[in-house]
Amino acid sequence: MRGKFSGTVWMAQRHSSNNPYTRLFGDALENKGCRVYDFRMRNLFKPRKGDIVHIHWLPDFYVSRNPVLLRFKSFLIFCYFFLFRILGIGTVWSVNNLFPHENLGEEREKIARKIISKGFSRLFVFGPESKNRVSSLFKVAAGKINIVPHGTYSGAYSREVLYDLHRKYGFDPDTPLFVYFGLMRPYKGVEQLVEAFTTIDNANVLICGGGAGEYVELLHKKIRLSDRNNIAIEHRYISDEEIYTIFSQVDCVILPFQAITMSGVLILALTFRRPVITVNIGEMGYYIKHGQNGLLMNNNSPESIKTSVQEFLLNQEGLKGSDDVENMIEWSSVAEQTVRNYYSCFFGTSNEQ
């Protein structure tokens, strides 16, 4: 029997100030008949039999640079959530990242997450690659892991255009504009992106977001040495109010990651129906269908980036989007899968479609 859950959900970070994802998630569940409350320290013992406790971003709970304390805190978290299971409370962990971006050492994190994962009824992941890796790395049975796609950011941001992007950065409005959006870090391939665009004459790129000052200065140095004017860097926090201004005026979002599991920026691009060029790693190929809503690269070398940019410029009109992906990331679909998988916390059978 395929059942649905429609009871009380205690969701950690329900109203996160850093990311609207959990707010949108909670709202979608409420539209399915659930009652969704913020799971905070003050209500750690409020869940009752038949409720669901749903956690995101676990490092908030167990982080410690002391390896002994890390193991101890991990064991306490395991005991806490396993006790909930004994009491008839369903426990879910959305493994949004295999490891935190700024982790304490992969081996330490792996040990901690192996311990903690045993305390949960179900683990949610964003796609099949994550499911395989979580099962392998944390020694979790595949049947305990459910794929629940990342929902869109539709309705999360103002749709007011605050400024002309081309004019602000001195770009020709008739020349295609690409954007890299997010933190500038080595593993995200920003250096390779800069190197690629120093050899491209028929496109501009805007690189915007935060990042360590030393690394961003390295990028600026590469641009100065190239003596090119088709690359602009906006090194600062980009406010929520500016997101639509940027995404509505670019032709393509480019994410040349060297290592990644999932990207919220990718979902932002799909939300605003912008094609994406990225590397076929992690869950990128689950959300980007080559030749439909973007292009997939085999690696993030400057040569691969340049080739994909030129392919995009030749076939831009053909990248109309993917109906399958758009339907998959609609919140009504995500919430439907979620309530079915919540149900399996109590009856032991995965409702994954």
DSSP track, 66-99:
SHHHHHHHHHHHHHHHHHHHHTT-EEEEE--SSS
Domains along the chain with CATH numbers? 8-151+330-347 (3.40.50.2000), 165-327 (3.40.50.2000)
**pLDDT over threshold 80, residue 294:** yes
CB 262 within 8 A of CB 130: yes
Buried b (16+ CB within 10 A) or exposed e, 90-118: bbbbbbbbbbeeebbeeebbbbbbebbbe
Q: How much is the average pLDDT of 110-116?
A: 86
| Lookup: tokens for 120 | 């949960």
Mean pLDDT computed over 268-289? 97
Q: Which two tokens stand for residue 259?
A: 């290592």
pLDDT band at residue 42 using 50, 70 and 90 as cut-offs: confident
pTM exceeds 0.95, yes or no: no
Residue range 106-114: average pLDDT? 80
- Using CA atoms, how far residue 43 sits from 15, 52, 74, 136, 185, in Å, is 15, 13, 20, 33, 37
**238 or 77: which carries more pLDDT confidence?**
238
Mean pLDDT confidence for 239-254:
97
- List pLDDT tens digits, range 172-198: 999 999 999 999 999 999 999 999 999
Would you state the pLDDT for residue 105?
A: 65
Residues contacting 21, CB < 8 A, separation 6+: 56, 150, 151, 153, 264
Burial class (CB in 10 A: 0-12, 13-18, 19+), 319: buried
Instruction: Give Cα 314 distance to the centre of its chain.
Output: 29
Q: What is the mean pLDDT of the chain?
A: 92
Out of 108-122, 259-273, 314-328, least confident range: 108-122
What is the three-class DSSP state of 44?
A: coil
**Mean pLDDT in residue range 215-223:** 96
- The average pLDDT across 83-87 equals 94
Percent of the chain's residues with pLDDT above 70: 94
Contacts of 281 (CB under 8 A, 6+ apart): 257, 259, 260
By the 10 Å C-beta count (0-12 exposed, 13-18 middle, 19+ buried), 238 is classed as: middle
Could you tell me if 4 and 51 are in contact, meaning their C-beta atoms sit under 8 angstroms apart? no
